[in-house]
């Protein structure tokens, strides 16, 4: 059985004070069988680590370099993330791809670097609205995933997470129906099974397209939806906890 995972991506939001209040709110009365994870802005990771001490909630960084050290101003090394106590690193988010030009090959290199340091990549994949309307959803998603699988090789694929985030459903007010989400999640799992059936069974596939408190339970009731990558709703403690509780049912 795959343990559900709910991951909150706080993006470029927050201050020391607001993050303290948010973490306090999340921890207050949080009861779920799901694994819970938050991705704060990197400058607040140490604060979040300290606030989460003694709880079951885990934390990670929103991005990392494929380089371990060197003259790469502004980058975060996998070694730095590991040193701070992170277990997970978010890579390939649609905003990194669209705003900062990250390619599938870039994401694959990051995946390999993270796994080599014992970190768990949360690999984001997904299609734009024009790609969906052209019927190219799985063509795009398969290329994103296969680029990583080829670069990583079997020895690096023991522990990672995939987050399917239809780009057209992020911050637009649109959301994939549970049936649409399930269809793509099932196809992702079938794609993984072509490489290794056991990998397909154990790899968690999260839905990341505007999951909110009022649609989380229905989305996560689908057999191949193993949790959610939550954006805006993760900044509201009460809403995030509703999603976490729904995942753990």
Enzyme catalytic residues: 93, 165
Name 207's bridge partners.
164, 228
Q: Radius of gyration of the chain from Cα atoms?
A: 17
Cβ 175 vs Cβ 134: under 8 Å: no
Hey, which bits of 10-112 come out as E strands? 35-39, 58-61, 88-91
Contact 176, 218 (CB under 8 A): no
Residue 176 makes CB contacts below 8 A (sequence gap 6+) with: 166, 169, 184, 207, 209
CA atoms within a 13 Å half-sphere pointing along the CA-CB vector of 138: 13
Q: Distance (Å, rounded) from C-alpha 119 to C-alpha 125?
A: 19
CA distance 15 to 220: 31
């Amino acid at each position: 059985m795959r343990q559900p995972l709910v991951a909150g991506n706080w993006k470029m939001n927050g201050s020391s004070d607001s993050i303290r209040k948010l973490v306090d709110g999340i921890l207050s009365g949080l009861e779920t069988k799901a694994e819970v994870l938050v991705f704060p802005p990197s400058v607040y990771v140490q604060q979040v680590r300290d606030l989460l001490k003694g709880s079951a909630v885990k934390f990670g960084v929103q991005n990392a370099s494929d380089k371990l050290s060197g003259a790469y101003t502004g980058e975060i090394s996998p070694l730095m993330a590991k040193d701070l106590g992170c277990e997970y690193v978010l890579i390939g988010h649609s905003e990194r791809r669209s705003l900062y030009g990250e390619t599938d090959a870039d994401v694959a290199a990051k995946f390999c670097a993270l796994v080599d340091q014992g970190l768990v990549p949360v690999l984001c994949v997904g299609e734009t609205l024009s790609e969906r309307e052209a019927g190219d959803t799985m063509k795009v998603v398969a290329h994103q995933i296969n680029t990583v699988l080829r670069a990583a090789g079997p020895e690096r694929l023991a522990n990672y997470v995939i987050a399917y985030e239809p780009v057209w459903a992020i911050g637009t007010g649109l959301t994939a129906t549970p049936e649409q989400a399930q269809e793509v999640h099932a196809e992702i799992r079938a794609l993984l099974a072509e490489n290794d059936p056991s990998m397909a069974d154990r790899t968690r596939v999260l839905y990341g397209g505007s999951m909110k408190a009022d649609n989380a339970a229905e989305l996560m009731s689908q057999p191949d939806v193993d949790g959610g990558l939550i954006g805006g709703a993760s900044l509201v403690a009460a809403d995030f906890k509703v999603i976490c509780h729904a995942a753990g049912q």
